[in-house]
Chains A and B, each alone.
Chain A
């Protein structure tokens, strides 16, 4: 009996050690690119004595970071501010529109509700960027095509398409609460403001987080508008600007790309970790409801 106990404990222990080893390996694999990014941002690649074969740079420098703030080809502060403004207004407007759509689709029963949901599902199956030509033309009609801030309109216009997660959350709020308000003489509007919004803090934060971080990573629409309207480099977003640095003929500004990528990632990552709980709740809830 004692022997069995010992062997079982040994098994448990060896299993646990194995699990730790696997988890450590996974962590190294997942962290390696970011580790590499930070090292590269301090590497003096332009130096002829630089050894490109090793991961750890043999010559260290701050020039990459300096270039971001001094080199006229890389107006990084402008890019950063442009993106911040776009992200802020996108987050604000998109969250309001998503909550409105989700509430209507979750709580109200009206003619064409199922039809609207099916329409959104079908629209999502078409490759979106083929519509860029038309969207650009519409922006031109509105006289907005020469500014990168028109991206705010582009991002928020299709907010209705991302109603799924918030609707799934609203569906779980008991309907008896609505009925209580209605009996007390409230309207559907009162229910929305007094019941649904105060109970939905996690999903509101999730929506804000997702819509705020989206513009930092998207470059397709930004690139198209910038190319077609020939916007000056000071009007770029971070994603378009940094992507341009990697596709240049020489790798002269590659170090600046790494440094810029680090500076973009730090605030976004900090925001994510601060609001991690809400993000996990939102993404897990969304998957279960489909």
Chain B
């Protein structure tokens, strides 16, 4: 369609065309994705082959010293003036072999059935006032087996990579020596603050990331395929896709399937409404404050920033108290007839949901206001000037200049807000705790309620109550990840500011 044709359409038809184009764009994206697969596979193949090629070259053309490196990492470096590197390589190999013999192999051997000997548990009366306590002796612990297996696999991966590096380095060292360039230890220390500075800077952050985020996330994904409950601490088994199948098979009205889709629908509805109410109200407040001729700008802004400054758990717990059975606001609602009898504000599903969205604007508007204020001041004044000369009304200027400009710049922010709201744990957990309940606690998947998001449901399943279903919660966590990833892929792929990262610099 040409521009002229497009412009000759009525507003409503243009809207339809735009909607159509949006979906066509998604379709095209998918087609391009699949078209690109053969090429990507070829590139991947070359990437896989090149390390083997390097190894082959090193074996064929390397001296006996380089070849020794295949068995003894760092040997060639040690014998050719690179003491520090050589020692580090060799030390890693020794530690790795020691780890594999003492811990890695025994745990990997048990990975198949996650241990077979149950632990003996016995209660005994404690001397201290705490009463009886549980003593667990011997036996296999599936939790530990799984965790050590993951750590072992990661270490094996690191070992293979470092082993490859040691051989490649040895070969290039040999080549350098051949042409008379001796790279000594001092070069290594110079590189680490210059051309290899990233290794120095990122070493600690990455170790932290792997230990406290990557390993837990891998553990979580894998636990989704077991029947680990979180309470039976000793033995559990692989169950394949049973946890996932549970969400989609039990289709009667009180089954897991029904709750899952109810909670999912509310989560998406909540994320959509919460994101847009915050965004538009925040923008309106920002426009009001930045309006010409309004005085005390700093005061109005400071009042709103107070909400950010006071720790969230304080303000949310306080509002929770105000909305409890005998709270101030509950009494007010009772006088208005919104609540009957001794109910609290969170016993009514609709009221509960509306309240959460209202309180969320209370929490979120100050952030949006700050962000919008900064951007609003950057909109070129001459745009408004020319619009005013053309006789545009303030509303027209808002829809034709302010809004498109804001949406263009804050696109990625809106997406991250949307994702943040899908996972908005604090506001639900501290305000309503998911109330009113669906009355499904007997299923053993937590006391899930009308205002629960997927994230708070996961928390209830895995952390609260006596009979936990940690593995099912993990499976649900993976489903949440998939939902978020799909949204991100659709929107991020279309956003230019992400694609053209280098353009900013």
A residues sitting closer than 8 Å to B (CB atoms) are 12, 16, 19-20, 22-23, 26-27, 29-31, 33-34, 36-37, 52-53, 55, 97, 100-101, 103-104, 108, 110, 113, 116, 119-123, 125-135, 137-138, 153-154, 156-161, 171-172, 175, 187-189, 192, 213, 216-217, 219-220, 224, 239, 242-243, 246, 254, 257-258, 261, 264-265, 268-269, 271-273, 276, 279-281, 283-285, 287-290
Contacts and interface: CB of A to CB of B under 8 A. Distances in A.
A281 B370 CA distance: 9
A16 to B, nearest CB: 6
Contact of B213 (A26, A108, A158, A283): A158
Chain B interface: which size bin?
Answer: 35 or more
Nearest to B212: A157
Interface of B: 143-144, 147, 190, 193-195, 197-198, 201-202, 204-206, 208-209, 211-217, 219-220, 230, 285, 288-289, 291, 293-294, 300, 302-315, 317-322, 326, 328, 331, 362, 366-367, 370-371, 373-375, 409-413, 415-416, 419, 423, 425, 455, 458-459, 462-463, 470, 473-474, 477-478, 480-481, 484-485, 488, 495, 497-498, 504-505
A104 B198 contact: yes
A172 B474 CA distance: 40
Contact of B477 (A26, A30, A110, A126): A126
A157 B314 contact: no
Nearest to B328: A55
A-B pairs, top 8 by smallest CB distance, nearest first, are: A131-B216, A290-B412, A284-B374, A157-B212, A157-B208, A272-B309, A217-B311, A189-B193
Nearest to A109: B198
Given A135-B216, A280-B370, A268 B293 contact: no
Contact of B322 (A36, A53, A246, A283): A36
A193 B132 CA distance: 58
A284 B308 CA distance: 14
Contact of A243 (B317, B458, B495): B317
B479 to A, nearest CB: 11
Contact of B318 (A12, A131, A261, A287): A261
B322 A97 contact: no
A97 B294 CA distance: 42
Contacts of A283: 367, 370-371
B470 A219 contact: no
11 contacts: A23-B288, A53-B328, A55-B328, A120-B209, A161-B209, A188-B197, A239-B313, A261-B314, A273-B305, A280-B373, A288-B375
Prevailing SS type, chain B contact patch: helix
A176 to B, nearest CB: 11
Contact of A27 (B300, B410, B413): B300
A127 B293 contact: no
B294 A126 contact: no
A127 B423 contact: yes
B285 A26 contact: yes
Nearest to A108: B198
A19 B291 contact: yes
A159 B205 contact: yes
A290 B416 contact: yes
B336 to A, nearest CB: 14
